[in-house]
Amino acid sequence: MSVEFVVQSLFVVIGAIHVVPGVVAVSVEKTRSAYGLEAGNRDLALLLRHRAVLLVLVGVAMIAGAFVPDLRVPALVVGGASMLTFVAFASRSGVLTPQIRRIVRVDIVGLVVLTAAALLLVVG
């Protein structure tokens, strides 16, 4: 298995972590299962849908970076910033719902995967 294949696979995994929450953009009802809250307020629903679109864009950039080497560094920076800021904000927010704790765990795993991809790019 080549280093290039491993790097591509890691980028796709990180991309998928970002793309999956995109379902909220097309189905506001999914916010309950995804985040553990009701988007009964139209403004909150709008913000969550917008967040979902931005996450999809980060995910698409990560997946594109798997196959377009010139996109890798910018995609790593954006993907890392996305996950790191969420983990930081969540850890400072106090009591977390089980759904938010799940997202934090997924983002921590994503950061480990992202770090592995970055190291392989530097070493490989």
Radius of gyration of the chain (CA): 15
- The structure's pTM equals 0.86
Q: List, for residues 46-91, the tens digit of each pLDDT value.
A: 888 888 899 999 999 999 999 999 999 999 999 999 999 999 999 9
Q: Do 34 and 59 contact (CB within 8 A), yes or no?
A: no
Helix (H), strand (E), coil (C) string for the chain: CCHHHHHHHHHHHHHHHHHHHHHHHHCHHHHHHHHCCCCCCHHHHHHHHHHHHHHHHHHHHHHHHHHCHHHHHHHHHHHHHHHHHHHHHHHHCCCCCHHHHHHHHHHHHHHHHHHHHHHHHHHC
Q: List, for residues 90-123, the tens digit of each pLDDT value.
A: 999 987 888 889 999 999 999 999 999 999 999 9
